[in-house]
């Protein structure tokens, strides 16, 4: 459990460091087994400086119209403020896998979010067939995990199993580069927080 105020302070301490240098040195810093607070701060900074939707990641560079972003979206000051607003320690372990090639395990306390290429819509580099997505979602749910699958339609195969479709509200054109005019849906397992009738997206 990483204290939010400590994480925010670590992020804030990095505000004066050159953005590109910081981004490039984060992997080495994380490999050095830093403290839990420092590791959480570095991980958040790494995510904020990674190409949105890119497969290999990388520093974003200066924003053409928003130079104050400094290569991180949100910028480091904003990120620190957001983290500091957390009112309690949150125990979370986040893992990111290429589901086709990397074995993984999930447990009853896991929340699995599957965001595959949208069938017939997304031009992603790696294909993840719908049949595999459905099989994977069912496998995780059977293990007790709460599961959500993002697609441009609610998945009928899972709806037939009693899963619930939730339409994601429009983000005003800030969605995926290749799917801005495409509807987005989450198909959530019955034990998912998103299955609550009051859930909004």
Q: What is the DSSP letter of 123?
A: -
Residue-by-residue pLDDT tens, the chain, 201 positions: 568 889 999 999 998 899 889 998 998 898 888 888 898 899 899 888 876 544 456 777 777 777 777 888 888 999 999 998 876 655 656 666 666 555 567 777 788 888 887 777 766 556 678 888 998 899 889 888 899 999 989 999 999 999 999 888 654 444 444 444 568 899 999 988 767 766 554
pLDDT at position 178, please? 45
Three-state SS at 73:
coil
Cβ pair 169, 200 in contact under 8 A: yes
b/e per residue, 116-138, with b = 16+ CB within 10 A? Answer: bbbeebbeeeeebebeebbebbb
Contact 195, 164 (CB under 8 A): yes
- pLDDT for residue 46: 87
The predicted pLDDT at position 41 comes to 92
- Identify which of 115, 105, 116 has the alpha carbon closest to the alpha carbon of residue 143: 105
Record the tokens describing residue 166, joined without a space: 């939730």
Q: How many CA atoms lie within 13 A of 48 on its CB side?
A: 25
How many C-beta neighbours within 10 Å does residue 47 have?
Answer: 15
Which pLDDT score, from 0 to 100, does residue 176 have? 43
Q: Which of 63, 72, 74, 66 is nearest to 21 (CA)?
A: 72
pTM over 0.75: no
């Amino acid at each position: 459990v990483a204290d939010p105020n400590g994480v925010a302070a670590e992020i804030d301490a990095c505000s004066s460091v050159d953005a590109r240098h910081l981004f490039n040195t984060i992997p080495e810093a994380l490999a050095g087994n830093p403290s839990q607070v420092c590791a959480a701060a570095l991980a958040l900074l790494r995510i904020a400086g990674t190409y949105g939707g890119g497969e290999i990641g990388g520093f974003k560079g200066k924003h053409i119209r928003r130079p104050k972003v400094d290569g991180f979206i949100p910028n480091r000051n904003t990120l620190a403020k957001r983290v500091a607003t957390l009112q309690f320690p949150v125990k979370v372990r986040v893992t990111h896998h290429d589901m086709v090639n990397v074995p993984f395990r999930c447990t009853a306390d896991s929340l699995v979010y599957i965001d595959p290429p949208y069938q017939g819509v997304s031009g992603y580099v790696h294909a993840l067939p719908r049949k595999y997505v459905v099989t994977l979602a069912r496998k995780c749910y059977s293990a007790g995990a709460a599961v959500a699958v993002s697609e441009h339609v609610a998945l009928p195969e899972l709806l037939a199993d009693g899963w619930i479709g939730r339409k994601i509200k429009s983000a005003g054109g800030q969605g995926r580069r290749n799917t801005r005019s495409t509807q987005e849906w989450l198909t959530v397992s019955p034990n998912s927080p998103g299955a609550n009738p009051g859930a909004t997206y």
